[in-house]
Structure 1
């Protein structure tokens, strides 16, 4: 009997449609609460995602507005106000700490690092610069280089050299990369790593032969090689 019933479903599209519709209605009836729960969960996820995105946008705009005054103070060399605010407007540290998940808050880490470096607060500058992350060609490489400056001031020349090299290799280009490599080589010389410094000078000579740094690289390479022997 079942075989005949199955044959009827194959030969009679209307019978198949009735079976499918009937089965669907039966499934919905038996699992109504489950389906309602799934629908509510999906709706909540959509609404939650929208509210999260909207809140993030609002926070980013707030951070940008706050940064405007802090940037002014940085350009005017009013470093303490740029870092800590003026009582009315927040400084880079507060913006970075409170809005760090936004683009503007992320950028505040970069600016806070610059201002703190200028003040000679090298470890704190390093902490903020390490929090900054960007795909930008110039800014991320610059952040690595500034981290190297902080490490060098803290007496960690080898760590500084690694960061300068990292800056040079971040989306390497003919203008900035040789500058960062030169800083890396000089840091290695400071660490008495003269053979390694000579190799870095050699990279400048070989890979960036028309750069402004190449003549100094040739001269300093000879010096480093002599000191290494």
Structure 2
């Protein structure tokens, strides 16, 4: 029998190195995906730029349209401020026509306060809850008015929640003590005497120079301590 030298048998080239054609295909596919990814990033950037550009353009138009509503609001004509008067838009129309703009956001605050004046508390809460701002005065004020609306509805527990949010949002010596007093009154109305006491104590300890710190807060904390 003839002995065959196995080393003399030709081997499949693919066992020693990758097929060059496959490598080339993989490289082409990789380049294609790079191009697709880069194009997607460019399109996303262009879309973001267009969105913000259009939004800012619409915001400038909204500012022009909301002027008369603000004028009516400051004059105490809250129905006209909300609904407009025909040629002039009210806050409700501005909010609807210019969503996602800074002006529509501010219009939600005005609309909420206007409804509060009209004693339409659910509507006031609805619009104020849509208002978002980094400004420590307006945002805290919006939560305080929501607390007022809940208080008017005798929902003192929920009122206290929003008064406390207002009080502890970017705390300061000017507004925080007043919000804490409102929270204390709401807590007491809800028979949460410990929480009411804590509000007054917070004023005494953190805001002793405020208009509530040296008199009312000390007196009320002393009175409530007897109920604990």
Which secondary structure state, in structure 1, belongs to the residue aligned with residue 132 of structure 2?
coil
Between Structure 1 and Structure 2, how many residues are aligned?
Answer: 203
d(CA) in 1 for partners of 2:131, 2:146? 11
How do residues 1-229 of structure 1 correspond to structure 2 at under 5 angstroms?
30=28, 37-38=36-37, 40-214=39-213, 215-226=215-226, 228=227
Shift of 1:94: 2.1
Shift of 1:92: 1.2
Shift of 1:37: 4.4
Q: Is the 8 A contact 1:123 1:154 kept in 2?
A: no
The farther-off stretch of 43-52 and 161-170 is: 43-52
1:83–1:37 Cα change, 3 Å? same
Deviation by residue 1:161-193 (Cα, 9 ceiling, x = unmatched)? 111111110000011100100110111122222
Q: Is the 8 A contact 1:85 1:91 kept in 2?
A: yes
Which secondary structure state, in structure 1, belongs to the residue aligned with residue 208 of structure 2?
coil
Normalising by structure 1, we get a TM-score of 0.81
The farther-off stretch of 89-98 and 119-128 is: 89-98
1:211–1:43 Cα change, 3 Å? closer
d(CA) in 2 for partners of 1:173, 1:181? 11
Q: What is the root-mean-square deviation in Å for CA atoms of aligned residues?
A: 2.1
d(CA) in 2 for partners of 1:133, 1:46? 26
d(CA) in 2 for partners of 1:157, 1:40? 55
d(CA) in 2 for partners of 1:196, 1:57? 44
